Amino acid sequence: MKKTVNIFILTLGMLFGLSSCQDYFLDLKPQDALTDAAYFKKPADFKAYVTGFYGQLMGWRSPFGGNSIYQYMDGNTDLSTNTGFDYPRGNVTVPAGDNRWSTPYSWIRSANILLKNAETYSGNPAEIKAYVAEASFFRAHAYFMLLNFFGGVPVVTSVLDVSSPELVAPRNSRYEVVNQILADLDAAIAGLPLEQSIVAADKGRISKGAAQAFKAKVLLYEATWRKYVGTTTDFQGSAGPASDQINAFLSEAIALSKEVMESGAYSLWNQNTALSNLSNYYLFNLEDAGSNPAGLTKDSNKEFILYGVYDFTYRQGGQNLSHTTAQMLPSRKMMDLYLCTDGLPPHKSPLFQGYHNVGDEFKNRDLRMVAHHGTAPTTATLTTGLSGYGNRKFAANNYGSYRNANQESSNYSIIRLADVYLMYAEALYERNNAITDAQLDESVNRVRARAGVAPLTNALATTHGLNILEEIRNERARELYQEGLRLDDLRRWGIAEQALGESTCGMVVGDASYTTAFRNASGAATANYNPATFVWGEETVPTAAGNLKCVVIDSKSNRNFDRRNYLFPIPSGQIALNPGLVQNPGYN
């Protein structure tokens, strides 16, 4: 009996013991992660946190998901015949949700969290100054994305909760958004290090020069938008600009560009001697020594100012890039934009050789033509409905052996020095309605020199009836081809409707009076040409040799880009959640 009693007491003890150690089972904290309560205490915390922002930069896998980078590569604009993209054709429907709206707001929240924690940082603020400045840059960057896509959007500069009134706030005007961006960029510029003082291990982090270049870009973008587009895209009820800031913006853009140009940190990647004049090809697939015949590496690149860092080992492009860009073929317009070596557009240049024989048009031309589209062909066929030209910008050198599909890992340029030169020149011309030869020489003409064409001078323009502004703008199309800037440029210049509304064409096929490899003297199609594969037939369009018949890849009857398309529609799901968001004009 005693044993029983003992056991009974023992078991009661166990029962009691079990209930007293409840905490052993219920009070369990995370073991493999810090909580925010213990974070943001050291400079390293701020650095690591802001390092997480770098995925927000545009890259081979765009931050908006999947393969959307190709949407930012001029596909189906006036420069490209690739027809897989609906936006440049004006085919935009109001979506329920849009990553371009929601993703930047998650970035803004992240930046706000860092900025809030910086305010209560107990250490020396100088220790975290650069990281706070980076966060300011990224907040500006996120708002600029929103501005570019949607115009005015709600401005949030604090960390919101699910009950915050800001969740249902109305849209701020684009002018207020711009003010926010500029203020954040000022803060960023003040706190960021010079490119020269960024150590090797941190290359690719935002430098002062990058923030300055980015601010110049925003200023020029907004100044030209206000000048050429005005308030036509503002949503109903939007406030207007507080004052006419156009010239002030342009002046500052000029000053900032100049400061970047003269900072000594950047130089054009001119490797024409080592690379048989193909600088404009090898710059965009530059990886390690195997990526080009001269054995140059990314180290040699001082041209990229703001860029995404990629690496074969640590961050591959993850995009079937070489294969896909090879199919994003240029349009007639693009091919005719390349200058002749005398610096004149081909339709004004005596050096232009016409289209009679395949490859003639490549003669005496801008080096970028070969850099972008491959060596002048000797034969061509128009039997598959394609434009007839090739494309290779961004494609890996020795694709298939040096790099396989998805492994291409060159850095992704967002702003490079050539762009800054062209922004500088454009801002000067927009500001002053004139630009001096000296100013052209320190900017546009450096880019032209690398492309092997004669400089642009006021004399050349006068002699040949060139419009200098148009030449600067066309220089952007040539130099920044496929770098995701064409649509932005067409919109801010207010000419997107016209430029995108025309048929995109391929090679000149000519007719009985202008024979080519495709139509003989009797006007009949040769064996190289199967007109049946071109569903939109032929169209007579202006070419460098006058109005000639060309194959049509995408007919103007398909192209409906409209003023409303300058901005994307606010996702309907967001309006449902916040009826105070007024839709952009034309999407109701």
Q: Among 314, 378, 521, 527, which residue interacts with another protein (rule: CB under 8 A)?
A: 314
Please tell me the distance from the alpha carbon of residue 35 to that of residue 13, in angstroms, as a whole number. Answer: 37
Q: Contact 217/568 with Cβ under 8 angstroms?
A: no
For the bound state, the minimum distance from the C-beta of residue 510 to another protein, rounded and expressed in Å, comes to 23
Q: Which is nearer to another protein, 274 or 309 (CB)?
A: 309
Please tell me the distance from the alpha carbon of residue 553 to that of residue 504, in angstroms, as a whole number. Answer: 6
Q: Among 42, 55, 351, 524, which residue interacts with another protein (rule: CB under 8 A)?
A: 55
Q: Is residue 141 part of the contact set for another protein (CB under 8 A)?
A: no
Q: Is residue 94 part of the contact set for another protein (CB under 8 A)?
A: yes
For the bound state, the minimum distance from the C-beta of residue 58 to another protein, rounded and expressed in Å, comes to 15
Q: Among 2, 20, 32, 522, which residue interacts with another protein (rule: CB under 8 A)?
A: 32
- Site residues for another protein, window 190-209 (CB under 8 A)? 200-205
**Interface region with another protein, contact rule CB under 8 A, candidates 11-19, 452-460, 477-485, 520-528:** 11-19
Q: Which is nearer to another protein, 164 or 547 (CB)?
A: 164
For the bound state, the minimum distance from the C-beta of residue 572 to another protein, rounded and expressed in Å, comes to 7
For the bound state, the minimum distance from the C-beta of residue 486 to another protein, rounded and expressed in Å, comes to 22
**Interface region with another protein, contact rule CB under 8 A, candidates 50-58, 133-141, 183-191, 471-479:** 50-58
> How many whole angstroms from its chain centre is CA 194?
23
Enumerate residues 6+ apart whose C-beta is below 8 A from 239.
Answer: 173, 175, 176
206, with CB counted inside 10 A (0-12, 13-18, 19+), is buried
Please tell me the distance from the alpha carbon of residue 154 to that of residue 140, in angstroms, as a whole number. Answer: 14
For tokens 């711009």, what's the residue?
178
- Site residues for another protein, window 147-166 (CB under 8 A)? 154, 156, 159-162, 164, 166
201, with CB counted inside 10 A (0-12, 13-18, 19+), is exposed
Q: Which is nearer to another protein, 1 or 521 (CB)?
A: 1
For the bound state, the minimum distance from the C-beta of residue 107 to another protein, rounded and expressed in Å, comes to 8
Q: Which is nearer to another protein, 65 or 97 (CB)?
A: 97
For the bound state, the minimum distance from the C-beta of residue 33 to another protein, rounded and expressed in Å, comes to 4
Q: Among 9, 18, 239, 434, which residue interacts with another protein (rule: CB under 8 A)?
A: 18
Q: Among 20, 31, 120, 433, which residue interacts with another protein (rule: CB under 8 A)?
A: 31
Please tell me the distance from the alpha carbon of residue 290 to that of residue 511, in angstroms, as a whole number. Answer: 46
Q: How far apart are the first and last CA of the chain?
A: 88
Which phi and psi (to 5°) does residue 205 adopt?
-75, 160
Bridge partners, residue 554, by sequence:
504
Q: Is residue 267 part of the contact set for another protein (CB under 8 A)?
A: no
DSSP class per residue in 506-555: EEE--BTTB--SSB-TTS-B-TTB-GGG-TT-EEEEEEBTEEEEEEEEE-
Residue 210 identity (one-letter amino acid): A
Q: Is residue 536 part of the contact set for another protein (CB under 8 A)?
A: yes
- Site residues for another protein, window 397-456 (CB under 8 A)? 400-401, 404-405, 407
Q: Which is nearer to another protein, 155 or 369 (CB)?
A: 155
Give the number of residues in contact with another protein, rule: CB under 8 A: 99
- Site residues for another protein, window 363-392 (CB under 8 A)? 384-385
Q: Is residue 105 part of the contact set for another protein (CB under 8 A)?
A: yes
Binding mask 282-301 for another protein (x = CB under 8 A): ----------------xx--
Q: Is residue 109 part of the contact set for another protein (CB under 8 A)?
A: yes
Among candidate residues 150, 155, 268, 136, the one with its CA nearest the CA of residue 215: 136
For the bound state, the minimum distance from the C-beta of residue 249 to another protein, rounded and expressed in Å, comes to 27
Residue 484 identity (one-letter amino acid): G
Q: Is residue 315 part of the contact set for another protein (CB under 8 A)?
A: yes
Q: Which is nearer to another protein, 337 or 396 (CB)?
A: 396
Whole-Å CA distances, 69 to 63, 75, 221, 282, 527: 9, 10, 21, 20, 37
User: What are the tokens at 94?
Assistant: 């109001």
Residue 396 identity (one-letter amino acid): A
